[in-house]
Amino acid sequence: MAEKISNLSFVTQDGREVPRVPVELCWADRLGDWKARWGINRMRYSVEPGLYAVGNPDGGSVVLVSANYKLSFDALRKELGGLDGWIMVLDTKGINVWCSAAKGTFGTDEVVGRIGLVGLEEIVNHRRIIVPQLGAVGVAAHEVKSRSGFSVIYGPIRACDIIEFIKAGMKATEQMRQVCFSLYDRLVLVPVEFVNGVKYLIFAIAVFFILSGINAGGYSSDLAMKEGVRSAVNLFAAYFGGAVISQVLLPWLPGRSFSFKGFSVGLTVAAFLLLLKLTGGRLETIGWIFLIAAVSSFITMNFTGASTYTSLSGVKKEMRIAVPLQLTAAIIGAGMWMVSKFI
Amino acid sequence: MKGQTYLKNVVTLRLDVDKCTGCGLCAVVCPHRVFEIKDDKAVIVDRDGCMECGACSGNCPVEAIRVESGVGCAVAVFKWMLKGGEPNCDYCNRSDDAPS
């Protein structure tokens, strides 16, 4: 079910009514966008595919192609103040431009099909569409041209550069064409990354709580409560290291592979906990160092998919080395933690 | 971008200079500026910057570029090892790294 867009009006073009969207987001849009960032309603946060207007477009106005993830659609329209143009929204199943282009839903077939469905040939008198550069992963410009007659002009990566791009006569600067992964880009990903894995953290904490009661004399629920809290603190710190600290500090961490970056963060986190005397006795402390390093390394490695610059070949190479090491470290760490219960 | 180059000497990107017509579309679509056009031919100027997204090869009208494209995502690789097929973004619910 698609989201309703607030404050719609209509323009008439070629005898047809086309919904016109405001270029300013209202509080409901902002709340919805914020919730999507936290993983709430994220996979159903879409707008109806089709043709929309901004400003007062006519047959000569530009056509911008977008995805039907509402976060993407909102990011585009809020940058279009002062523009008279058309937005052709593809059916990308509620996924953003780059990811849906990789999946193929933002692709040549959908572009060509949507041009036909919205009757773009009757709406505009030119034969050009502006496709966001990251859509090029799924779109082949020469095929769109031969199948629909429309030329694809690849626009800038970021919606905030669209107006400048159009004003410059459809010319992008090098900076507009380069994807980056700035501190802000990483920070907006932290909430959803944190929320996504938290169920595994809670499960791990529960298991450690239960096992904490085991000792040489049998089982003690008092001990489980007391020692379980320490386990929870250490596990949370490991998770926080991998899911938050590694992501924020990514470019400044040593090494190129994500697993090594996460390993470094894990060791630092463990050292910090040791200084605060939160890691227990000597054997248990060594166990936590192994465990925290393994967990932090693993979680950071899984951030490769959210980053904007890792290749599949590179990830495979990294994993061939890192995964066995992470697994070994985790087993050693958990083993030492368990043994420390008995001595 | 500084501090944002991934592993060296791993990517599968190949350019057949003889086929290249110098149209320049690869240089336009590449999000990491891997290509430049010199003397009416594409040139790979930053191979290690390639993330194997496949935008260049998909938009090359003469099939001069080959790359084993895919997602550089450890979670997708895990799922692929468990379920087979190929590493892809199906079932992923973060799908949010693109700014537009």
Residues A165 and A131 sit within 8 Å (Cβ to Cβ): no
Nearest CA-CA partner of A138 in A67, A50, A52, A70: A67
DSSP for A136-204, written as a single string: GGT--HHHHHHHHSPEEEEE-SSGGGHHHHHHTTS---HHHH-----HHHHHTTHHHHHHHHHHHHHHH
pLDDT attached to residue B16: 97
pLDDT attached to residue A76: 96
Digit-coded pLDDT (tens) for A64-106: 999 999 999 999 999 999 999 999 999 999 999 999 999 899 9
Domain ranges (residues) in chain B: 1-69, 71-100
Domains, chain A = 9-179 (3.40.50.11600), 184-339 (no CATH)
Average pLDDT over residues A273-278: 96
Share above pLDDT 90 across residues of chain A, in percent, rounded to a whole number: 82
State whether residue A75 sits within 8 Å of chain B by CB.
yes
Average pLDDT over residues A167-187: 95
A258: which chain B residues are within 8 Å (Cβ-Cβ)? 74
* Residue A163 pLDDT > 70: yes
pLDDT attached to residue A36: 87
Nearest CA in chain A to B73: A305
Share the mean pLDDT of chain B: 88
Q: How confident is the model at residue B23 (pLDDT cuts 50, 70, 90)?
A: very high
**Any idea what DSSP says for residue B21?**
-
Digit-coded pLDDT (tens) for B31-79: 999 999 999 999 999 999 999 999 999 999 999 999 999 999 999 999 8
In CATH, the architecture of B1-69 is: 2-Layer Sandwich (3.30)
B50: which chain A residues are within 8 Å (Cβ-Cβ)? 311
What is the ipTM metric for this complex?
0.91
Residues 67-86 of B with CB under 8 A from A: 68-77
Nearest CA-CA partner of A21 in A47, A48, A53, A50: A53
Minimum-distance CB partner of A256 among B1, B6, B94? B6
Minimum-distance CB partner of A142 among B49, B61, B99? B61
State whether residue A25 sits within 8 Å of chain B by CB.
no
Share the mean pLDDT of chain A: 94
